């Protein structure tokens, strides 16, 4: 009997610790923020504005711990965007503006992912596999179809980095490519979702998808600018070479 009680106690302790552990991780903190904002959206539909405001305040309180401290230190632009969107969400909830609240939630999600992208690459670049693995869980995936599969290259790169089989610079490059491919695919999907929602008259769905897609562009834009600059430079070299011939 004592053994049974001891086992039960261990199980209870593990179950109690699981949510606390999740909250102490970047992905756990981000998930708590998103759940609270979703609750606020529900309250505007089936509850009251006051309860929606309370849910947004829970989201603001959930933005803490390693998620907040790391973004403030390593991705300050994402931190500012996230905090600004949370303030906008509270004002929208107070007015009962579901469309503005949905847009703010999309902006919060994009800011979380932009910050995670920066922190993940920084950790990989310095060879910190444990931190890279933890932050890589806060990401988005392209939708799997019969012709495509969710990217696993980043996960494989982290595993090889941890075993010393991949140099930090190479791991960072592999992770960046996997994430950028996923976000480009997801941006296209979100833009289609926004168009579909607009055609159906779903203003909140359109606002959330469009705002999140715009936030994804902030992640993708530096790489596009880099590729464009490289392409322009190569074109100029080619023209000079041709003129010389």
Say what the pTM is: 0.82
The predicted model gives 172-183 an average pLDDT of: 96
Q: Is residue 6 part of a domain?
A: no
Q: Is residue 244 part of a domain?
A: no
Q: Is residue 182 part of a domain?
A: yes
Full residue range of the structural domain in which residue 162 is found: 24-223
Question: Maximum CA pair distance of the chain?
Answer: 92
Q: Is residue 89 part of a domain?
A: yes
The predicted model gives 181-187 an average pLDDT of: 94
Q: Is residue 214 part of a domain?
A: yes
Residue 223's pLDDT is: 76
Residues in the chain: 245
Q: Is residue 235 part of a domain?
A: no
pLDDT digits (tens, 9 = 90+) for 23-70: 589 999 999 999 999 999 999 999 999 999 999 999 999 999 999 999
Q: Is residue 102 part of a domain?
A: yes
Tokens of 237: 């070299």
Specify the range with the lowest mean pLDDT, choosing from 4-8, 76-80, 110-114, 216-220. Answer: 4-8
Q: Is residue 1 part of a domain?
A: no
Tokens of 85: 């969107």
């Amino acid at each position: 009997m004592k053994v049974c009680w001891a086992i039960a106690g261990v199980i209870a302790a593990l179950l109690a610790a699981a949510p606390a552990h999740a909250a102490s991780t970047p992905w756990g903190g981000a998930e708590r923020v998103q759940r609270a904002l979703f609750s606020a959206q529900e309250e505007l539909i089936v509850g009251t504005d006051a309860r929606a405001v309370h849910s947004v305040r829970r989201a603001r309180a959930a933005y803490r711990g390693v998620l907040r401290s790391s973004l403030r230190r390593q991705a300050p632009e994402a931190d500012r965007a996230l905090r600004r969107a949370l303030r906008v969400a509270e004002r929208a909830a107070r007015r009962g503006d579901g469309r503005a609240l949905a847009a703010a939630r999309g902006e919060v999600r994009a800011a979380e992912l932009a910050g995670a992208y920066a922190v993940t690459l920084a950790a990989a670049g310095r060879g910190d596999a444990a931190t890279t693995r933890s932050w890589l869980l806060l990401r988005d995936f392209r939708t799997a179809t019969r012709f495509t599969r969710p990217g696993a290259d980043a996960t494989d790169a982290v595993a090889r980095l941890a075993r010393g089989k991949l140099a930090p610079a190479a791991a960072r490059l592999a992770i960046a490519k996997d994430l950028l491919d996923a976000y480009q695919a997801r941006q296209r999907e979100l833009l289609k979702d926004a168009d579909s929602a607009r055609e159906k008259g779903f203003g909140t769905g359109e606002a959330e998808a469009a705002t999140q897609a715009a936030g994804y562009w902030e992640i993708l834009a530096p790489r596009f600018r880099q590729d464009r600059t490289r392409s322009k430079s190569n074109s100029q070299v080619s023209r000079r070479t041709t003129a010389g011939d």
